[in-house]
Structure 1
Amino acid sequence: MKRRHFLISGAAGAALSMARPSWAMAGAPAYLTAASKEGNSTWLVGLTEQGDVVFELPIPSRGHAAAAHPFRAEAVAFARRPGRFAVVLDCATGKEIARLDSPEGRHFYGHGAFTADGKLLLTTENAYDVPDGRLGIWDAEDGYNRIGELPSGGIGPHEMIRLADGSFAVANGGMQTHPDYDRAVLNIPSMKPNLTYLDAQGLIVDQVEPPADMRLNSIRHIAADDTGRVVIALQWQGNPLTAVPLMASHRRGEALAFFDHPETVRLKQYAGSIAISSDGAEIAVTGPKGGHVLFFDGATGAPINGRALPEASGVAQFGDRFAITLAGGLLEGGASGGKMLDVAGGYSWDNHLVSIRRV
């Protein structure tokens, strides 16, 4: 079967979709995140907007991010690189529905996205012996059976998102890794990250690379607004004493635009997660290694301010501003302040907080 046919034909099974709970029926968590506890136990955690834990599901090792189904109360949570499992979760009950295993010669990169019709799941993967980036294709109407793969357009595909028009953006981080060497970067002399765009059928339609002096600024995590503008959280792989911006944005047909901030140094060269507020007024970039969050003007990219927030990790939209996971709980707010919510359980959060009812 040709790769184009995978995404055009999708999969049969509308009756199956109707039989499963919808987001309207679920009425349960607003967010899904991965976390660990004392003793190195690892979990998927469902949270309400009030910071209540709706469910926690044990997983084999550290998780990373998740993809929410566009219609069903269902999400797929991925292992942290170089993990080989993904868990399909019924978000109405907090129960595991299915488990995905990466095929031989592949591992997951912690992210994925559903097609707009919800029939297929695409997963970012490392074909580590090639080496090359791939997008696995899984039939969400047939028990998440794997039915093929696509090129990601680069090395080290990390986060991918579905854009408002049903197309996709993929952050090819440029970092060649191999599970035999854990998380070591093997190609610093030749590293070339890019942002790749695919149409709704999975065909690459556009790519953009950083300029030469920014080629070690790995394109890792991305978010987009309804106009198709993509904002980017970067992770610098060069000299740790070199000052570089860790936020960029892009519109198709233009060059990457980089935006610095007076408090960028507080992130320790590592931007974790990124989000745009629903009204477009602010962009938030977390720095889990530095315990800091940077806020930028959503229209111009100009710095607004930064906030010291211990273990600031995942960020997602909350009303016109953000929900941010941090040590002991959540912040609901933005650059000008907000409400701190305690979350019971003693969790240490991973990098992402995924909205699972706003897809």
Structure 2
Amino acid sequence: MANRRQFLTGLLATGLAPLPTWADAGSPAYLSAAARADGAYVLCGIDAARAILFQIPLPARGHAAAAHPTRPQAVAFARRPGTFALVIDCTSGQTLHTLTAASGRHFYGHGVFSADGSVLYTTENDYEAGEGRIGVWDVTAGYTRVAEFSSGGIGPHDIKRLPGSDVLVVANGGIDTHPDSGRTKLNIATMAPNLSYIAEDRVVETATLAPDQHKNSIRHLAVARDGTVAFGMQWQGDTLSPPLAGLHQRANAVQLLKVPANNLRQMQSYVGSIAFSADEAQVIATSPRGGMVQRYDARTGALQDSFAITDASGAAPAPDGVMISTGTGMLMTLGDDAVSVQTPALQWDNHLVALG
């Protein structure tokens, strides 16, 4: 093996060997951060059959990851509010670069690459100004931070790219925080969450909620092939929450998904992840707090069914439905039937990141 690696390294140095791809890392279908039974933290690659392909050590608890579109590289983000992210070679497990948040900034645990993989975008907080920023990192220059621009709101959390373009959509949760106060929420009374669409470093469209729902923090995103954005929210009010998931298409009004009050209570005001099914006919929202997963009709917005799944959080499309991960170590494919694989040596963190 060592001789083969030396041979390939020599070929790469001369430019004669093809660049490595995700196939060289075992062709993972998903990435997820996890905690091991011994207390160590890892980034895992998972295949479509729910087998664990690799476990790469992390220095602290992870949140989400960004997968390079062609190279077997992942950016693993610290749990928010974190100030570091690691660029990992998923074939060797080596840390290639450590990204450090700029002075006066912290990461929110999410990022996304440009379509060609030459740029990484990260959601960040300018905590002295109380403004959301998007960091711009030049991948070709060794993940050097080269610029930043407004996220279009406060508390940008998730960020995605619309298919076939470099238009970004950002979930501005609306919550102001400061490292001196930890995770304390400083502006609940004046929250103003939104979805911001950004093209060429400029906000070109913003979608907002009704005024009486301004405490519904927009946190997590999924994007369909036609550009429809599904979003999950976390209610910061003292009353029963309004719907916690919605859909949006550019130039249209926000559509909140329809859910009876009893089913809404089961979610305990909190959506942890959101995903489209593989055929995009359904939207799935998870609640680790409520121990629930809800499935909606993506066309009508109506709730179809609910599943009690302890500490369910991660969600991503699967060939036969949606993959769900849990903090109890379960990987489950939610289709017409629920199929689970228990991995008791791992406790999955918040998100499943689908590749491709």
Question: Is residue 193–residue 214 contact of structure 2 (8 Å, CA) maintained in 1?
Answer: yes
Give the letter for the 1:140 counterpart. Answer: V
TM-score normalized with structure 1 length: 0.90
Q: Look up the match of 1:11.
A: none
Match of 2:8 in 1: none
Distance in 2 of aligned mates of 1:267 and 1:97: 39
C-alpha deviation, 1:320, in angstroms = 4.0
Equivalent of 1:243 in 227, 241, 244: 241
**DSSP 3-state at the match of 1:141:** helix
Report the secondary structure of 2:349's partner residue.
Answer: strand
Paired with 2:168 and 2:329, the residues of 1 have a C-alpha distance of 34
Shift of 1:124: 0.2
Cα displacement (A) at 1:153: 0.5
CA RMSD of aligned residues (A): 1.7
Q: In structure 2, give the amino acid aligned to 1:202.
A: D
| Count, aligned residues | 338
- Larger Rg over CA atoms: 2
**Whole-angstrom distance in 1 between the partners of 2:101 and 2:39:** 23
Does structure 2 retain, via aligned residues, the 8 Å contact 1:52–1:343? no
Give the unaligned 5+ runs of structure 2: 1-13
Look up the equivalent residue of 1:251 and give its one-letter code. Q
Counterpart in the other structure of 1:3: none
The equivalent of 1:286 in structure 2 is 286
- For residue 264 of structure 1, report the CA deviation from its aligned partner: 2.1
Amino acid at match of 1:332: T
Please name the residue that 2:53 is paired with: 54
Larger RCO, structure (CA 8 Å, separation 6 or more): 1
Q: Quote the offset at 1:146 in angstroms.
A: 0.8
Work out the CA distance in 2 between the residues paired with 1:143 and 1:289. Answer: 39
Q: Deviation per CA, 1:180-221, whole angstroms, max 9, x where unpaired?
A: 11111100111100100012x222110011111110000100
Identical-residue share of aligned pairs (%): 44
Q: Which residue of 2 aligns with 1:89?
A: 88
Please tell me whether residue 31 in structure 1 is matched to residue 35 in structure 2. Answer: no
Deviations 1:55-103 (A, max 9, x none): 2222222211111111111111111111111111222333322211111
Are the counterparts in 2 of residues 123 and 136 from structure 1 also a CA contact under 8 Å?
yes
1 CA distance for matches of 2:219 and 2:278? 22
Contact map agreement 1:135 1:150 (CA 8 A) in 2? yes
| Match of residue 254, structure 2, among 250, 253, 256 | 256
Q: Report the alpha carbon displacement of residue 133 of structure 1 after superposing the two structures with TM.
A: 0.4
Q: Residues 195, 339 of structure 1: CA spacing in aligned structure 2 closer, same or farther, 3 A cutoff?
A: same
**Are 1:220 and 2:205 counterparts?**
no
For residues 131 and 38 of structure 2, what CA distance do their matches in structure 1 show? 35
CA contact (8 A) 1:28 1:91 kept: no
Which string of whole-angstrom CA distances, capped at 9 and with x for unpartnered residues, describes residues 230-276 of structure 1?
0110100111x423211111111122111132322111100000001
Moved more, 52-61 or 227-236: 52-61
CA distance in structure 2 between the partners assigned to 1:156 and 1:257 by the alignment:
22
> How far did 1:277 drift?
1.3
Structure 1 alignment gaps of length 5 or more:
1-14
Q: Counterparts of 1:233 and 1:314 in 2: how far apart (Å)?
A: 12
Which one-letter code corresponds to 2:157 in the other structure? H
Change (3 A) 1:187 1:299: same
Structure-to-structure mapping, 1:164-313, within 5 angstroms: 164-166=163-165, 167-199=167-199, 201-239=200-238, 241-262=239-260, 263-313=263-313
SS of the residue corresponding to residue 313 of structure 1 reads: strand
